[in-house]
């Protein structure tokens, strides 16, 4: 396996993996399947997206996005990580996160944050293993299929040089 920055050419593979997470209802509040066009904005150059591949097949991806439009939070990015069903438990998600952390540091971010369903034990273990801490729980954060879901807030401070 190897990790590298994602390109728009991986759009179909990223969408396939993302849509698996949407279908399974284990990793996102999203319910509408995504298209390649939906994720094209991810490749704007400002927010890193990485893929992990093996034999030219994308097994996992991790991406960042804006945390807030407020200028004071410009160095904080939200992130997501998804692993293809057939690749889970093989280290692809961990490799994607390690690579995303490095890419976010190079891009000048000082913190990564996300929210994880409380019952998503594999994701919580993965994130702890790469240095994230659980900050707290948002109860009844949103509904998924008419059911209230709680989420754990996670964060990791990154190593960046002060100007």
pLDDT digits (tens, 9 = 90+) for 18-55: 999 999 999 999 999 999 999 999 998 899 999 999 99
Domain count, the chain: 1
Does residue 162 sit within a domain?
Answer: no
Q: What is the helix, strand, coil percentage profile of the chain, to 5?
A: 35, 35, 30
The CATH number of the domain where 144 resides is what? 3.40.630.30
Within-domain flag for 163: no
In the predicted structure, residue 81 carries a pLDDT above the cut 60: yes
Domain encompassing residue 23: 2-157
Question: What are the tens digits of pLDDT across the range 113-155?
Answer: 999 999 999 999 999 999 999 999 999 999 999 999 999 999 9
Confidence at residue 74, expressed as pLDDT on a 0 to 100 scale: 93
Q: What is the DSSP string of 19-71?
A: HHHHHHTSS-S--SPP-HHHHGGGGSSSS-EEEEEETTEEEEEEEEEES-SSG
């Amino acid at each position: 396996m190897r990790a590298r920055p994602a390109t728009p050419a991986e759009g179909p593979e990223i969408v396939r993996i993302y849509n698996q997470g949407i279908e399974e209802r284990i990793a996102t509040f999203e319910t509408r399947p995504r298209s390649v066009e939906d994720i094209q904005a991810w490749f704007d150059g400002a927010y890193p997206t990485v893929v992990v591949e093996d034999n030219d097949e994308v097994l996992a991806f991790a991406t960042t996005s804006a945390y807030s439009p407020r200028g004071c939070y410009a160095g904080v990015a939200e992130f997501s990580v998804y692993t293809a069903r057939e690749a889970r438990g093989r280290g692809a998600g961990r490799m994607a996160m390690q690579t995303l952390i490095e890419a976010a540091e190079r891009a000048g971010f000082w913190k990564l944050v996300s929210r994880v369903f409380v019952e998503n034990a594999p994701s919580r273990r993965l994130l702890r293993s790469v240095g994230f801490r659980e900050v707290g729980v948002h109860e009844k954060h949103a509904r998924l299929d008419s059911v209230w879901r709680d989420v754990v807030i996670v964060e990791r401070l990154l190593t960046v040089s002060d100007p």
